[in-house]
Amino acid sequence: MGVEVRVEGLTKSFGAQPVWSDVSLTLPAGEISVLLGPSGTGKSVFLKTLVGLLRPDRGAIRIGDHDLTRLSERELYEVRKLFGVLFQDGALFGSMNIYDNVAFPLREHTRKPEREIRAIVGAKLDMVGLLGAERKLPGEISGGMRKRAGLARALVLDPEIVLFDEPDSGLDPVRTAYLNQLIIDLNQQIDATFLIVTHDINTARTVPDNIGLIYHGHLAMFGPREMLLSSTEPVVRQFLNAQRIGPIGMAEEKDADELKAEAEAGVEPPPLPPIPVQLQPSDGRPRRAERPPGRWCRDNRVTPPPGSFDGDLGRVR
């Protein structure tokens, strides 16, 4: 069962260059959250800060009784075992075959006998659909398979929290759909707390329980998927609907003249598209964190865009 991660007032800069400041959010235990934001807004820096690879300037990261920002290197080493991280390119060792790559954390962090390691590696490779590829080198398999191998490796220590850094980067839409289904199925099976950094709007709209958006050095919004997908807040609306109309420009923020010109031309953002049904586990058994479609909107008296939750939009089988 996953653990809750509470981020409070987190601030990070590199020298004089601020990345983001005063970020506060809670990743609910066992739920899937997605973090979005324009390129260069510091999403990867956020993941690295969460796992203790980068130290924040200020703020707290609370897991149970620990504040990760206050731990010594030795204590951090222990707490890091709570995390499994899928890095962008899978971060596999090129000279090791898939089996040894996946076994690596077990050999490094545990004293398990090789027989037990074999059973665990086999189970994780099975989970990600890579049984049979054990003897291949990373260079001999496709990008999608490398991601799945990286995912198997992220899972071998049975993490309570799994961080995914752009799991869909470089994958075609079909592979992305399969990977998204795998993420949902894994969350159902291992019940860990997931945080996914992605640029893929379809992933953000259909996979998570919660969505966060970093923009212009701060967290613009974080909350349940239905809250953000029904939001008319200009930055959230523009980003989640991949539109040009709104405050976000090509480089970053549009300047006042550009926004004035848009307003004077009477350019209105198009209506919000329907909220799709959330992707379901492929065996039909619900995830623990799953909520019925439309629940958040009903509880909060928000009228979702017309056509929301109709049909089977979120399902990939």
Ligand X SMILES: Nc1ncnc2c1ncn2[C@@H]1O[C@H](COP(=O)(O)OP(=O)(O)OP(=O)(O)O)[C@@H](O)[C@H]1O
- Segment lying near ligand X (by CB under 6 A), choices 42-50, 93-101, 257-265, 279-287: 42-50
Of 37, 56, 84, 304, which one interacts with ligand X (CB under 6 A)? 37
Smallest separation, CB 212 to ligand X (Å): 12
Of 1, 22, 24, 40, which one interacts with ligand X (CB under 6 A)? 40
Which of 207, 177, 190 has its CA nearest to residue 288? 190
Does 10 bind ligand X (CB under 6 A)? Our answer is: no
Does 42 bind ligand X (CB under 6 A)? Our answer is: yes
Residues 11-30 that bind ligand X (CB under 6 A): 14, 19
Does 43 bind ligand X (CB under 6 A)? Our answer is: yes
Three-state secondary structure readout of 146-208: HHHHHHHHHHCCCCCEEEEECCCCCCCHHHHHHHHHHHHHHHHHHCCEEEEECCCHHHHHHCC
The residue among 54 and 76 lying less far from ligand X, judged by its C-beta, is 54
Sign of CA dihedral 165, 169, 175, 181: positive
Smallest separation, CB 251 to ligand X (Å): 13
Position 300, amino acid: N
Distance CA 289, CA 229 (A): 18
- Segment lying near ligand X (by CB under 6 A), choices 43-51, 111-119, 218-226, 227-235: 43-51
Does 153 bind ligand X (CB under 6 A)? Our answer is: no
Which of 12, 77, 3 has its CA nearest to residue 44? 12
Of 10, 27, 36, 45, which one interacts with ligand X (CB under 6 A)? 45
Of 33, 41, 187, 203, which one interacts with ligand X (CB under 6 A)? 41
The residue among 55 and 260 lying less far from ligand X, judged by its C-beta, is 55
The residue among 7 and 103 lying less far from ligand X, judged by its C-beta, is 7
Residues 98-127 that bind ligand X (CB under 6 A): none
- Segment lying near ligand X (by CB under 6 A), choices 3-11, 39-47, 68-76, 115-123: 39-47
The residue among 166 and 226 lying less far from ligand X, judged by its C-beta, is 166
The residue among 215 and 296 lying less far from ligand X, judged by its C-beta, is 215
Does 133 bind ligand X (CB under 6 A)? Our answer is: no
Does 150 bind ligand X (CB under 6 A)? Our answer is: no
Smallest separation, CB 37 to ligand X (Å): 5
Binding site for ligand X (CB under 6 A): 14, 19, 37, 39-45
